[in-house]
Each structure stands twice: as structure tokens, then as C-alpha cells.
Amino acid sequence: MSFPRAKEYTPTNPVMKFFDEKLPLPRLVYDAVGAGYPVPRNLSYFWNFGVLAGFFLVVQIVTGVVLAMHYAANAQVAFATTEHIMRDVNWGWLMRYAHANGASFFFIVVYLHIFRGFFYSSYKAPREMIWLLGVVIFLLMMATAFMGYVLPWGQMSFWGAKVITGLFGAIPLVGEPIQIWLLGGFAPDNAALNRFFSLHFLLPFVIAAVVILHVWALHIPGSSNPTGVEVKQESDTLPFHPYYTAKDGFGLGVALLLFFAMVFFLPNALGHPDNYIEANPLSTPAHIVPEWYFWPFYAILRAFTVDFLFIPAKLLGVIAMFGSILIWFFLPWLDKSPVRSGHYRPLFRKFFWFGLVPAMIVLFICGGAPAEEPYVMLSQIATAYYFLHFLVILPIVSQIEKPEPLPYSITEAVLGEDKQAVLGENAKPAV
């Protein structure tokens, strides 16, 4: 391990010694989640969401493999096989509801994970690569979720595929050929369903591979913490096991209670009733919406209603929609503040809680609402603020604000004045 405070694994049991010499899996576990991985002692429950995201990824892979055994990627029978899974396959209804709601919970914990990163500036050096890989994971999740939404072949599946792939048609010159190439024709049909199913099955394993890189990159600098102060000595840390395995276990228990409450009592609450109607290319739904976790970006897409110079409104919407996520790649260089934690950045904190968070809430609401007033105007205002926040406000605030005093060490932040940690440099602990 390159982590500076990691302790060397020294097996005492003869069996463990044998395995450590021949196949060092015990060492890997020890270094990854054991005492060989010391973490800051002040981590809050906001640091639980990475583990929860990993758990729900496993849920999605396991349930998805089982569902794939009974699904047929054919436009003539896809809807019927979905109903067959629900009605005839033993525990098929549980697998499908766990998979559908598991996707929602996966996105919930990832959104919370991302916004924790925004508030605590987890993207700052030396953790830039962790952040960049995290954004890649999010993009892969969105692609996987979109293709999964198509598979039941209900009305929203078909028309969602039609609308989203139609966005590529807005690209000048090459847009229409790309759209035809993606669909394998002029409209979603067997070819599109087959390739979407294949990619939907493949991409979760790609996500798992990037997650491994994400965790690997995390273990080099170590975890961030609520103060943003780097670990200075061993008293600032605790072994991951048993302290944080217990804390993560509690968080997982709470998440599972909520998850199974949804699966057993509200399985369709986050879905759309039109998707229980078989796809009909001749009948357009009154209100086409994607799944709820796409709503903010769908609202950004629809916020552009007027052509600008020679650029069509549709193309502007497509550029803004993709740009709203791609902008996250540049956060480590847009935010120039020397302080990480939002707790010690008063001006940043105001713009975060009273600017970015309300703007995202408005985008979530407007993305799921009909394309009519006042939702169009609200989505335009929220979209404008969203881009202003990251491109203008954040760089300016990071340059002009005066941060509050930081504690000298993590130990001081937790326990008050720590003579050994302070070493005479700070007579009083930060309040």
C-alpha cells in the first residue's frame, strides 16, 4: 500500500502465512477494509454513501443476471416476457422490483455522494483522480439506466428511446446517420432492443471495473474528512475495521429497511404507469418523461426554446444537457480555494445551500412536469443559475472569500486542544 500510515500485514496463523505467500488475498482484504487502511477519525455518515453505492451495484448485477435468464430481447415478445417474469417465474416479481427500485436507490446514494463531494470539495488535490473516475462512473450509470428503461418495451420505454436517441439528430450533418446507426433503423425496433439489451448487460461490469479503479485511487491519498484538514499523525486516524465497518453496517441496515419498504409496499411509486402498456409506435403518450433520476438533465434539455443565431434550440439543449455533467470534470481547477470543507467557507456555504441545492430541486420538479408554463420558465432560471454557479460564482467566491480558521489537526477538531498534535503552534483549538 502506498497509503502513508498503512500498517504492514503480518500473518501469524500458518494457513494465512501460506495464502499470503502464494495468493495474497488476506493482505488485500486487510489493506482494503481492515486495520491496514487507517481513515480519519471524524468521518460522518455522509461518508457512508460510497459503500451503499457499491452495495446497490452488486444488487443490480445479481438481480440483472437472474432477469436476463428469462428475458427475450425481441420487440414481438419483450413485453410478454417481462409479464412472464412477473407472473410465472418463481420470485420473478421480487427480482424485477428489486432491480427497478435498486436502480433508483443506486442513483439516490450516488447523488448524495456527489453533493457531499460538492460541499466538502472532495475533488481538490490530491484527490482529483478519485473525482474524475467518479464522474465517469456516473456517466456509465446514466447510459446503463437509459438502456435498461427501454427493455420492458412499454409505452415509456419505446417513446423514451425515440426521444433520447432523437437528440443525436440535432447534431449538424452527422446527427441523423448517428441516430440511424444507434437504432439500427429509423425507429426503435428489434435491432435497437437487441443492442440495448447487450450493452445494458455489459456496462454494469464496466462500472464495477471503474469502481475498483475509483477505490484504488482513494487508497493512495486516503479519505477526505469533514474538516478538510489532512491527516498529520496516527492519532488523527482509526482503523477502518472495526470502527467504520460497524458504522457502514448501520447505514446499510437503514438503507435496506427503506429499500425493502419500497420493494414490498411501494414497488411502482418511482415508475410510470404508462410503462405497463405495451409499446405502440402509432400512439404517442400525452406526456413523455424519462425515469426520475434523469429529470434535472431533461429539464436542462427542454429549457432551450429559442434558436440563438444559427444554432437551433434543440442543439443548444443537447449541448447544455451533456455540458451540465461534463462541467464536473473541471471542478478541481475551477475551485481555487485553499480550504476544502464548506463548514469553513461562509460565502461558499450560502451559495451552495441557497443557490445550487434549490436550483437542483427546481430542475428535478420541472424535468418531471409537462413542457408548459410555469415549468419552462422555472427550468430556464434554474439552468442559468446551475451554469453560473460552476462557471462564474464558484471561481469568484473561491478567490474573494475569507475562510474561517481551521483546526490544527483532526484530533483537535474532535477532542479539542491536543497538546501532542498542536506542538505549541496553536494555543487554543478552533471553535
Residue 179 and residue 171: Cα distance in Å, rounded? 10
Task: Respond yes or no: is residue 291 known to be catalytic.
Answer: yes
DSSP assignment string, 124-151:
STT-HHHHHHHHHHHHHHHHHHHHHHHT
Catalytic residue among 31, 189, 291, 335: 291
The closest of 413, 302, 429 to 365, measured between CA atoms, is: 302
Task: Respond yes or no: is residue 307 known to be catalytic.
Answer: no
Residue 50 and residue 252: Cα distance in Å, rounded? 11
The closest of 19, 37, 418, 362 to 220, measured between CA atoms, is: 37
Task: Respond yes or no: is residue 402 known to be catalytic.
Answer: no
Task: Respond yes or no: is residue 2 known to be catalytic.
Answer: no
Residue 418 and residue 426: Cα distance in Å, rounded? 9
Q: How far is CA 342 from CA 110, 120, 178, in A?
A: 19, 5, 43
Q: How many CB atoms lie within 10 A of CB 297?
A: 18
φ, ψ of residue 38 to 5 degrees: the values are: -75, 140
Catalytic residue among 7, 84, 219, 241: 219
Catalytic residue among 189, 248, 335, 418: 248
DSSP state of 46: G
Residue 268 and residue 287: Cα distance in Å, rounded? 18
Residue 32 and residue 241: Cα distance in Å, rounded? 10
Residue 179 and residue 318: Cα distance in Å, rounded? 14
Q: 389 Cβ partners below 8 Å, 6+ apart?
A: 351, 355, 356, 359
Q: Three-state SS for 308?
A: strand
Q: Residue 347, by phi and psi: left (phi above 0), alpha (psi -120 to 50) or beta?
A: alpha
Catalytic residue among 230, 247, 274, 417: 247
In this structure, the dihedral spanned by the alpha carbons of residues 172, 174, 180 and 186, taken in order and rounded to 10 degrees, is 40
Task: Respond yes or no: is residue 121 known to be catalytic.
Answer: no
Catalytic residue among 223, 324, 341, 409: 223
Which residues belong to the active site?
219, 223, 247-248, 291
